[in-house]
Amino acid sequence: MALVDRILLGPGPSNPYPEATAALSAPLLGHLDPEFLRVLDETCARLRRVWGTENARTLPLSGTGSIGMEAAFANFVRPGDVVVVGVNGLFGERMVDVAGRYGADVVRVDHDWGQPVDVERVLAAHPEPSLVAAVHAETSTGVRSDIKELSLAVHRRDQRALVLADCVTSLAGIDVQVDAWDVDIAYSGTQKCLGVAPGLAPFTVSERAWDRRVQRPPTWYLDLNLIGAYVDGSSGGRTYHHTAPTAMIASLHAALGRILEEGLDTVWERHRAVGARLHEGLADLGLTLFAAEGHRLPELTTVRVPEGVDSAKTRQILLTEYGVEIGPGVGAFASSVWRIGLMGHNARLDRVELILGALHQILSRS
């Protein structure tokens, strides 16, 4: 395969932090090597800091972000449980699908794409749900929903209801506070703002949720009882479950170290500033943002493709002539919206000016 060097400003993987890339080429350790176990423990400790939690059960699951979603429903939903899902994009839709496959009685609360999840409507959807789920940063539309408000409102009404938050595109990009927001279950993915390659799903569980877990979920691989015994030795000493993806964990460990060294506040501010500059620059080009004002993500911007411009052709020119990837829209917006990511290592002013300059040149040609 030819070695191609791209700048990944799409909704998928971002370019990893250099620290994460360097860790992948370090000598490989065995999955039971004491040095690897030390790195694993430290990775879990670093994840707690980035999640804003003291949850003992905080660990990277082996798989992409979606495996976090799958593990959440597999371990905390029993057939017939009422699960309310706020749906405002593709990943909310996916939650509905996954919850249904584990037998949940799913109550979906649909929103127009581009809008945030409406807390009052989600609360009104069912008086006594066993779980309420929503996506914090909807990557399909570039919208931030207020998980803090949702979670606190759910628990004010009912201490037993569990709150599940998809934080795949929010963690290490915008403020996430699992404990202060009283979120019970949350998952993320390594390839977005965490600045690692795709392949791991950071996951965290509150004590309230852990007490309510399914004792024998219908999946062996994602049974948190079995995984926990390996990762944190919580059932008295580590026992082998599956071979941990050691290189990926070393890479995540390095990226988390870099993020914590820079400082979470500084990292969030870096994302905020570049997002604001991109939004301003796109408006200067005469383009219209898609996501509702006041709920726009700095790390993932959705912008309408101007009238008369071929969306796919423009993306193709960006890729082949500039080496820059941006994403298409999703579903009904596939050819009418572009998605531009400024995540992790790419949350930098030089990336913003590159994409703005390239779009300016391409659009003034056509």
> Which residues bind to ligand PLP, rule: CB under 6 A?
64-66, 91, 135, 139, 166, 168-169, 189, 198
Query: Shortest CA distance to 317 belongs to which of 277, 352, 288, 355?
Result: 355
Which residues, 6 or more positions from 228, have their beta carbon under 8 angstroms from its beta carbon?
57, 59, 234, 235
**Cα–Cα distance for residue pair 324/302, rounded to 1 Å:** 16
| In the block, residue with structure tokens 């795949």 | 168
- Based on C-alpha coordinates, what's the Rg of the chain? 20
| Closest distance of CB 3 from ligand PLP, Å | 24
SS3 call for 82: strand
Q: What is the 8-class DSSP label of residue 48?
A: H
When the beta carbons of 173 and 358 are compared against ligand PLP, the nearer one is: 173
To ligand PLP, the closest distance from the beta carbon of 150 in angstroms equals 15
Name which of 52 and 89 has its Cβ closer to ligand PLP. 89
| Residue 175 DSSP symbol | -
Min CB(237)–ligand PLP separation in Å: 31
Considering the complex, state which of residue 55 and residue 139 has its C-beta at the smaller distance from ligand PLP. 139
Quote the CA–CA distance of 199 and 3 in Å, as a whole number.
Answer: 21
The answer to whether the beta carbons of residues 51 and 171 sit under 8 Å apart is: yes
Nearest distance in Å: CB 11, ligand PLP: 7
Query: Does residue 72 contact residue 213 with C-beta atoms inside 8 Å?
Result: no
Per DSSP, the three-state class of 354 is helix
Q: Which one, 70 or 223, has the nearer CB to ligand PLP?
A: 70
Instruction: Convert 109-165 into a string of H (helix), E (strand) and C (coil).
Output: EECCCCCCCCHHHHHHCCCCCCEEEEECEECCCCEECCHHHHHHHHHHHCCCCEEEE
How many Cα atoms sit within 13 Å of 43 on the Cβ side?
30
Which residue's CB is nearer to ligand PLP, number 36 or number 91? Answer: 91
Q: Which is nearer to ligand PLP, 11 or 217 (CB)?
A: 11
12 vs 281 by CB, closer to ligand PLP: 12
User: Closest separation between CB of residue 87 and ligand PLP, Å?
Assistant: 12
Considering the complex, what minimum distance in angstroms separates the CB of residue 111 from ligand PLP? Answer: 15
Q: How far is the CB of 95 from ligand PLP (least distance, A)?
A: 9
State which residue, 37 or 141, has the beta carbon closest to ligand PLP: 141
Q: How far is the CB of 64 from ligand PLP (least distance, A)?
A: 3
Minimal CB distance residue for ligand PLP? 65
